Chain A
Amino acid sequence: MKIAFWFLVFPGFLFTAIVGMLLTWVDRKVTARIHWRIGPPWYQPFADFFKLLAKETMIPAGTPKFIFLLAPMLGVIAMTIIAVMLFAMNFMPDKSFVGDLIVLIYLLALPPLGLILGGSASKNPLSAVGASREMTLYFAYELPFLAAILIAVIKTGGQIRIGEMVAFQQLYGPILYSFSGVIAMLISLFAMQAKLGYVPFDIAEAEQEIMAGPLLEYSGVALAMFKLTKAMMFFILPCFLITIFWGGLASRWAIPKLLLLVVLVILLKNTNPRLRIDQALKFFWIGLVPFAIVGIILAFYNL
């Protein structure tokens, strides 16, 4: 009973969905203000969601039905589990288990996997292009992202239990307040931007070139699930970064920190043009990986 409540209401599905949608609204509103527009009212993401639920869900002829409809669910399920795990580990450190960091990293791979599956299953050349770009982008940002997490692991003395990592930070101060911590945070900010699929890394969904990429053939409920995954991710990823690098969620400053990260993402989104896929790969592998290696070396010297 309690477990069901955790997963379905707080901090699982319902809570994450609502907060994520509100953050999506913040994104749209701030973007509009940057363009000198007025922007949508606060209930806009909810209206979009309910409208999509009411629409017909079309399945293109000749697609594998099961995979086509499974793909959008993957992300939502993964995000729900991550939300429950993150909150449990932050507020009840004894619930944490050895290796939960690794479980979270694997779960974070599910939303891009859903996009790739859906895009390849929808039998549309543009979706296939989008799916292949998403795949390349995933391999591009995952390497520096893992290196950044490795910095946190090294600094906490080899902990892969998130509960212990949070406890360590509460004792000795957040990892962010050191040279290697700043490097790790910067790298994971870029990785977060790419994971969210926002400009400059919205290469997979590039509206002006390949219309909507992997989402092209989706409509109705399935599309709503993809939008929901994105909204939930917009809330969970900053929470994840705060947990790993910035002192955990169980503090008074968690909400200002979350808003700061969200606004950073929005500003990055609104002040940059889209990169090409090869440029993004170069940026992550040639630009950020050496940077991350420097960070790892610094972390070994405990800087």
Chain B
Amino acid sequence: MKDLRIQGLKKSPWVFHVAAASCNNCDIEILDLITPRFDVERFGIVLVGSPRHADALLVTGVLNRKSLPRVLRVYEQTPKPCLVIGIGSCTCDIHIFKNSYNVVGPYGKHLPVDVFIPGCPPKPEAMILGIVKALSKL
């Protein structure tokens, strides 16, 4: 039974998109994933509108003083088990915002992120690869 449930989680990860002050380029690239060209519904990946339905959070953008509490709140509201996937170089470190007064540092310091997908923005192929890697960790 437990095995069946893990299989279910692997086969149908519903993702919620948390745009934490990104420059919007990563977000547009995420939307590419559900276009006919990449069609991630093949793998059961669906974009959902509420963090309560989500199994994976796609976070984009650099964390700053304003967005950190909100991202944490969304993470707390997501039913566990859930994955956190950092999309874009902004999530890996501080990226081009070095020396900014407002930035509170990389995601790794605040959230248990499962995979980082670097790129500015990353290619959709890279995102699919990253999500597959995160799922194979389960």
Residue count of chain A within 8 Å CB distance of chain B: 35
- The residue in A36, A51, A54 that gathers the most chain B C-beta atoms within 10 A of its C-beta is A51
Interface 9-residue window, one of B4-12, B22-30, B83-91: B4-12
Expressed in whole angstroms, the minimum distance between the Cβ of A60 and any Cβ of chain B is 9
Known: A55-B55, A55-B79. A211 touches B50 (CB 8 A): yes
Residue count of chain B within 8 Å CB distance of chain A: 25
**CA distance in complex: A41, B41 (Å):** 9
Contact A217 B52 (CB under 8 A): yes
Chain B residues with CB below 8 A from A48, complex form: 8, 12, 14, 44
**CA distance in complex: A28, B49 (Å):** 18
Partner of B8, one of A36, A37, A39, A49: A49
Closest to A211 in B: B49
Chain A residues with CB below 8 A from B39, complex form: 32, 37-39
Known: A28-B41, A40-B44, A55-B55. A207 touches B79 (CB 8 A): no
Known: A48-B12, A211-B49, A219-B53. A53 touches B41 (CB 8 A): no
Contact B41 A219 (CB under 8 A): no
Question: What string of 1s and 0s marks CB contacts (under 8 Å) between A151-166 and chain B?
Answer: 0000000000000000
**CA distance in complex: A128, B72 (Å):** 25
Contact B7 A47 (CB under 8 A): yes
**CA distance in complex: A37, B16 (Å):** 21
Chain B residues with CB below 8 A from A54, complex form: 5-6, 8-9, 81
Chain B residues with CB below 8 A from A43, complex form: 11
**CA distance in complex: A46, B49 (Å):** 21
Contact B41 A40 (CB under 8 A): yes
Known: A47-B8, A212-B48. A57 touches B42 (CB 8 A): no
Contact A47 B50 (CB under 8 A): no
**CA distance in complex: A216, B6 (Å):** 24
Closest to A32 in B: B41
Expressed in whole angstroms, the minimum distance between the Cβ of B125 and any Cβ of chain A is 16
- Does B77 reach chain A (CB closer than 8 Å)? yes
- Does A56 reach chain B (CB closer than 8 Å)? yes
Partner of A38, one of B9, B42, B49, B52: B42
- Does B80 reach chain A (CB closer than 8 Å)? yes
Chain B residues with CB below 8 A from A35, complex form: 36
15 pairs, A vs B, C-beta closer than 8 Å: A36-B36, A37-B39, A38-B39, A38-B42, A39-B39, A40-B43, A47-B44, A48-B14, A51-B8, A52-B8, A55-B79, A212-B50, A212-B53, A218-B52, A223-B53
Residues in chain B within 8 A of chain A (CB atoms): 4-9, 11-12, 14, 36, 39, 41-44, 48-50, 52-53, 55, 77, 79-81
Which 8 A-B pairs rank lowest in CB-CB distance, beginning with the nearest?
Answer: A54-B5, A51-B8, A50-B8, A211-B49, A47-B11, A56-B79, A219-B52, A37-B39
